[in-house]
Amino acid sequence: MMDYTMFKELVNDRFMDYMPEEYKKGRVSINKVNKINGSKDGLSIYQENDKGAPTIYVDDMYEKFKHNDDLEATLKEFADIYVKAVEKMPPIPISLLEDGAKDKIYMVIINTESNKDILKDAPHREVNDTSVIYRIMVSDDEKGIGSALITNYIAEEMGMNEEQLFKLAAENTPKLFPPVVKPMSQVIFGMLTENGGMPKDVAEQVVDGMKGENELMWIITNNKGVSGAVNMIFEKNLHELSKGMGDDLYILPSSIHEVIAVPASMGDPEELAEMVLQVNTDVVDVSERLSNQVYHYDRDARKLSMATDTPNKSILNAVAEVELVYDKEQKR
């Protein structure tokens, strides 16, 4: 089997052979693309006067090639994928002078240690062992959410610093992606009955013991279920939940998409952190991991802080109008 280095060289040399004639004058470029918790080799084709081009990944091509052992079929398939990506690529608003562009800026949260390459080129704000970064939505339809990372260059083009981006994103994020706080029993019930699975009355019996006043596990996410973990830094979400439980909270980072809140009296944070590590290792895809640590929300101080500082740190093997809880550390 051809190794990855040789495969990448062949892709660089031969990919254009499988593209339609109108692309032939373009230039193939393969560059490292920083992704959440890692990087990939991104391939783009740049035409003269193009302001942008979609990216597909050589890594994905190689995985396909390893399965079919057919270089020609692989290149043809991904050439077709690239053409479709060009056709679907939405325009990316760069200038905040464009109508409505300011309203599309929102925040997501990622692990700090595992995303240094992204963070060095993007305005961000550290929150415990994670960092808030900013994105601008360019599409939201049945195919999913299309967005672009706001890099230092784009922020400069917009004429905005990190503080301005933070305030704007703090206002926009709950509007674009309304927060959702729901009991784990509701999530499990939905999973059991999804796509005509278990009958509802049977599912009710399964989750019955988890329901009611003694419900101990709550999911914090957003209405899309995408990049919803950032909602743990919004004061209102945690305070109302802790008030209802009559207890402080431990926050378990399930993924970049959601976190799990439990009453602080439920268990030892070190043991909970071991559970988080195990789930990250066994279940959560590397690209979606947020942290191996556990956080503590103090309902009296109304502050989110680190509850653990375990050795297993690697996840790879304030705004007046919108109250947030975080230890304020800004970076640009």
179: tokens are 């927060």
Tens digits of per-residue pLDDT, 237-276? Answer: 899 999 989 999 999 999 999 999 999 998 899 999 999 9
Whole-number Å distance between alpha carbons of 106 and 147: 10
CA-derived radius of gyration, the chain: 22
Tens digits of per-residue pLDDT, 118-141? Answer: 999 999 999 999 999 999 988 777
Q: Residue 118's pLDDT is what?
A: 93
List CB contacts of 109: < 8 A, sequence separation 6 or more.
Answer: 127, 130, 131, 132, 133, 227, 229, 230, 232, 233, 256, 290
Is-contact 117 151, C-beta < 8 A? no
List CB contacts of 155: < 8 A, sequence separation 6 or more.
Answer: 123, 134, 161, 162, 165
- From 250, 233, 51, select the one nearest 130 (Cα to Cα): 233
Instruction: Tell me which range, 1-5, 127-131, 318-322, is most confidently predicted by mean pLDDT.
Output: 127-131
pLDDT-derived band at 328, boundaries 50, 70, 90:
very low
SS3 183: strand
More confident residue, 61 or 320: 61
Tens digits of per-residue pLDDT, 276-299? Answer: 999 999 989 999 999 999 999 999
Q: What's the mean per-residue pLDDT of the chain?
A: 86
